[in-house]
Chain A
Amino acid sequence: MTGQGIKSFDEPQFNRREILRYAQCGGCTDQTMLNMMEECISECMKFASFSYRVSYCHLPIISLDRETGEIDFDLLKVKSRDLAGNLDGCAEAILFAATIGPGIDRLIKKYSGRAPVKALFMQAIGAERAESLCEMFCSSFTGKLRPRFSPGFGDLALSIQPDVLRIVNASKNLSITLDDGFLMSPSKSVTAFAGRGDRVAVGPWLHRPPHPT
């Protein structure tokens, strides 16, 4: 059976080095810039209403073919050679949707026409928050997960987003919705597969094993 869960996290520490990197000023020591970043962080903490939630489920990998990229997760069938390469040898994938909420979108919109520097920092803070959330989530499992792999990476089509969100119940649990181009709202949301566990029999199953059904 494929269980479904939700994990909620306390606010992680702000990684200022990462924020600067996302704001295209990695390594910057200019005090004005650093002050601006702090000002934006303070405003975010006051007004962005960050939430750190992840809705997830465990998908057993029924079959995987690296050559064709066909992967059968029972609930979902995907064709992506890049994802197949990433999950190669795993027993299951954790499929998850994570969001820090939509408050940051409003702050980005507030400043995008009026104060582009602040908009840039807000964007950077949002990216860093979402990244930190994913890191916390992936670290919460016993055993190391494979690097996460999102729709839109490599040859994994964005068009699988509706299925991904449906399976992890992201609409009810996180209020993540999609637009016509499969982009998520809130914008600082992530969906991804993260491979886990070792396949007991590594080898022949990778090459078009008979479907269990």
Chain B
Amino acid sequence: MDFRQFLRDNFVILDGGMGSLLQKRGLKPGEKPETFNLLHPEIVTDIQKAYFDAGSNVINANTFGANPFNFPDDEELKSVIEAAIKIGREAARLSDEASEESRKRPKFVSLDIGSMGRLLKPYGQLEFEDAVSAFAKIVKIGAAAGADLVTVETMNDCLETKAAVLAVKENCDLPVIVTDAFDANGQLMTGADPSAMTAMLEGMGADAIGTNCSVGPMQLRGVMKEFLEKASIPVIFKPNAGLPRVENGETVFDVTADEFAEEVVMQMKAGVRVVGGCCGTTPEYIKKVTDLAKAQNLKPVPLTDKNLSVVSSYTHAVYFDKDPILIGERINPTGKKRFKQALIEHDMDYILGEGLRQADEKVHVLDVNVGIPDIDEPALLTETVKELQAVTDLPLQIDTSDPIAMESALRAYNGKAMINSVNGKEEVMSAIFPLVKKYGGFVVALTIDERGIPETAKERIEVAEHIIETAESYGISRKDLIFDPLCMTISADTSAAVTTLECVRILTDELGVHTSLGISNVSFGLPKRNMITSGMFAAALERGLSAAIMNPFAPEMMAAYHSFRALHDLDENCTDFIEFADSYDGKYGTVSAATPAAGAQTDSAKTADDLSPLASAIVKGLKEMSSKITASMIKEEGRDPLEIVSEEVIPALNAVGESFEAKKTYLPQLLMSAEAAKEAFVIIKAELEKVKAAGGGGESKNSGCRIVIATVKGDVHDIGKNIVKLLLENYGFDVTDLGKDVDPETVLGEVIRLKADICGLSALMTTTVPAMEDTIKLIHEQAPWCRVMVGGAVLTQEYADKIGADAYSKDAMGSVRYAESVNEAKSDQGKQ
């Protein structure tokens, strides 16, 4: 019988624990259980036959850890997997022979795939594509050996789960069932909740999903409830017999077979379709479950489509329903000179900063568009998606018109992405819909086709209907589409907004689909654009708009959003609105340079009372205040930016620096001042650029001194290095940061390319100090003009001398002092 067919109409009984039983039969801690397939096949057969005898329909072949990392020899890997499938078949045959009851029961042997035991980036070192390739190797062997299905199990990480499922889908047609190891707190180790996993795995076409391992069945009630509420496909429950503990040298578990069966059968009644056990469970546990289910004459609860429109990140899902969704539009070069420059210069910090600033404004999804001419868009879009997902847990909307870039980014995306966009053109639909089917996705569909943008609402709705029909022919449900009926500017056609709003109403009320708008287009060419844009936003929300791609920094837009939610009973106790209103004046108000810097009374603030407002803000570490006062000093008072640096910023930094050196100020306080100074510098730098462009000076005293800075090869700690960089930049030094884990050749290459005066090297661990020594040696040999200063937890002056460094800095201020001395010596030489 076909497994998918069996799954559709029946409960599926899986097997129980394998590792704990093998340990009882001689497997030692640390020994690879899969080696028993070759060394002791009779033991594995015996255990698996016992599971079939107990009532299992599916046994997992003993291949959990059979992966290319544990078995680097291809032939050995193949032998282990082939033997495991063969053993599973033999166990089924023996069980069939043993009893009539067993013979009647359909039996399946599943290729079992566990975690590689290596964390994927950004947590670990394993590249996503390397994980896919490794899983693919297992799948190919298992499928060729005759597995009936594939089980991906005990996964702790959303992205690794995706890599495994993708490998299955790309290398065989077998059904795939997937279980992740949720902890009692309802999350995977890397943060995903059941809703997030459901969104991603349903999107990718898994046949059944759920949880296994980790803890006992009672601790997983919340997890199962969430799965059953959100999943439209069969749900799996395969818990441990509690947690293992050691008693008199033996591993024991705390949930008995009877307790286990009661809990599992309770979940079957609630709607769980596929059940079994994990660590600590034995054939007795499985028999108790089957007997109890039989005694209660349980019938499977029919599956229902939950009809949820959803996107997800690696932690959580975002649902599109009555509560409007905000999609931040700022990661997009259109009309943004600074952003374009960041893309050209590959300034990832700036790009990520744009994302994080929007996250601070509490948008729900971030749009990501990096398309500019003459750029490798597939590579940059994919890199941006990965980097953003390393620092924010918001779901992303991947925004590109290039299908190659779209596929590359979708593949790397950790979760179920929002896809921007498809439209009614056949060519576009045939390029995008297969990607949606393969990777999952929630797709923005523009009501435009080969004829262009239809003028009337009726014609745009016709395009929408055609898109729905075509999507369904690819097996994509309308719940995975969100329609953008296009917002055109009213400065060109005063009826444009009326048409768009009518479309939103019809799409919502008559077609029952979700809608999204790129709202800001409506005000193009008009003054005070946010007034019109926010008015349009409010009007569209009233007609049922589900989401808007918008600027979260525009107060009018956020006011429209919060007001709508408060007025439509979507904001319990108006809590969000009150929070927004409370922060409004502080956030969007202005201050003048004469405004005394407000803030908490701190030890350092007391010393700041006699300083100017800007210096005081810096000493107190008030970032926003520092930025606003600086802007005001330049714009309203006409102060020279360099004068602000020399008379305000540097004295303030020196005051804090000296206090730190005298141990009166703590490191975090020094850093807060540095961050506040950095905010002032952002304003000052922009002004200096203008002065420079106009042919003026615009150079600070230390700007001629170039410093290359890096954490050495093999070391991934960069907090200290970043602190040093921040302070050096504050003092006007020209710093190039090469990041962490940088090999000596790369450091040398940059030192030579930039003719750097100083190279700063950081190492936290004793094991990486040799790499520091190698780097110093290389620089001294090939770039003798460059002074090397070193720092880091394991270093001392003595150690620094021993490895040949020119200077040792015990802290960040020390590195500033050294850099100043090098620069002064350089200036003196220049004068002579």
Contact = CB atoms under 8 A, between A and B. Distances in A.
Give the size category of B's interface with A: 35 or more
Given A35-B600, A106-B391, A58 B249 contact: yes
A172 interface: yes
A172 B115 contact: yes
A143 interface: no
A2 B666 contact: no
B423 interface: no
Nearest to A31: B600
A199 interface: no
A167 B23 CA distance: 13
A120 B603 contact: no
B460 to A, nearest CB: 40
A202 interface: no
Nearest to A103: B191
Given A3-B249, A33-B668, A185-B119, A179 B600 contact: no
B669 interface: yes
A103 B352 CA distance: 18
B356 A114 contact: yes
Contact of A1 (B114, B249, B392, B668): B249
B190 A177 contact: no
Interface stretch (A5-13, A62-70, A77-85, A131-139): A5-13
B183 interface: yes
Given A33-B666, A102-B190, A175 B157 contact: yes
A117 B123 contact: no
A32 B600 contact: yes
Interface in A3-38: 3-8, 23-25, 28-33, 35-36
Given A5-B245, A5-B251, A180-B714, A24 B157 contact: no
A132 B349 CA distance: 34
A9 to B, nearest CB: 11
A115 interface: yes
Interface in B304-359: 315, 349, 352-353, 356
B249 A2 contact: yes
Interface of A, secondary structure class, is mixed
Contact of A120 (B191, B349, B668): B668
Contacts of A49: 185, 187, 189-191, 315
Contacts of A110: 356, 390-392
Nearest to A53: B183
Interface in B239-259: 243-252
Nearest to B252: A3
Contact of B718 (A33, A36, A112, A175): A112
A71 interface: no
A23 B392 CA distance: 23
Interface stretch (B363-371, B447-455, B719-727): B719-727
A24 B660 CA distance: 12
Interface in B178-199: 183-185, 187, 189-191
A171 interface: yes
A123 interface: yes
A150 interface: no
B247 A3 contact: yes
Contacts of A1: 249-250
A186 interface: yes
B349 A116 contact: no
Nearest to B359: A110
A169 interface: yes
A156 interface: no
Given A8-B184, A120-B668, A102 B243 contact: no
Contact of A179 (B125, B247, B671): B125
Nearest to B215: A8
Given A8-B243, A116-B722, A28 B666 contact: yes
A105 interface: yes
B829 interface: no
B154 interface: yes
Given A24-B666, A51-B189, A121-B668, A6 B604 contact: no
B114 A172 contact: yes
Given A4-B244, A172-B114, A179 B124 contact: yes
A3 B722 CA distance: 45
Contact of A32 (B28, B114, B621): B621
B122 interface: yes
Interface residues of A, number: 63
B798 to A, nearest CB: 19
Interface string B378-391: 00000000000011
B190 A30 contact: no
Nearest to A99: B189
Nearest to B667: A24
B79 to A, nearest CB: 22
B336 to A, nearest CB: 19
B403 interface: no
Contact of A7 (B191, B245, B718): B245
A119 interface: yes
B135 to A, nearest CB: 16
Contacts of B666: 23-25, 28, 30, 33
A58 B249 CA distance: 7
A163 interface: yes
Nearest to B28: A75
Contacts of B668: 23-25, 28, 33, 36, 117, 120-121
A109 B391 contact: yes
A108 interface: yes
A105 B123 CA distance: 7
Given A106-B122, A172-B117, A36 B767 contact: no
Contact of A51 (B157, B183, B602, B669): B183
Given A102-B119, A106-B390, A120-B719, A158 B249 contact: no
Contacts of A205: none
A106 B767 CA distance: 24
Nearest to B213: A172
Nearest to B723: A116
Nearest to B219: A8
B714 A186 contact: no
Contact of B246 (A58, A112, A116, A123): A58
B29 A120 contact: no
Interface in B730-783: 765, 767-768
Nearest to A59: B29
B814 to A, nearest CB: 14
A181 interface: yes
A58 B244 CA distance: 13
Interface string A91-118: 0000000000111011011101111110
B202 interface: no
Contacts of B287: none
Contact of B719 (A101, A108, A169): A108
B390 A120 contact: no
Contacts of A106: 122-123, 390-391, 393
A57 B119 contact: no
Contacts of A53: 183
Given A23-B666, A24-B666, 16 more contacts: A3-B246, A4-B29, A5-B243, A31-B602, A51-B189, A106-B122, A106-B123, A106-B390, A108-B719, A109-B391, A110-B390, A120-B719, A172-B65, A177-B119, A180-B125, A185-B123
9 contacts: A5-B245, A6-B243, A25-B668, A28-B669, A33-B669, A47-B191, A57-B29, A112-B718, A166-B30
Interface pairs A-B: 5 shortest CB-CB: A25-B666, A3-B246, A171-B117, A110-B391, A49-B191
Interface of B: 23, 28-30, 65, 114-115, 117-119, 122-126, 154, 156-157, 183-185, 187, 189-191, 215, 243-252, 315, 349, 352-353, 356, 390-393, 599-605, 620-621, 666-669, 671-672, 674-675, 714-716, 718-719, 722-723, 726, 765, 767-768
Interface of A: 1-8, 23-25, 28-33, 35-36, 47, 49, 51, 53, 56-58, 75, 101-103, 105-106, 108-110, 112-117, 119-121, 123, 158, 163, 166-169, 171-172, 174-175, 177, 179-183, 185-186
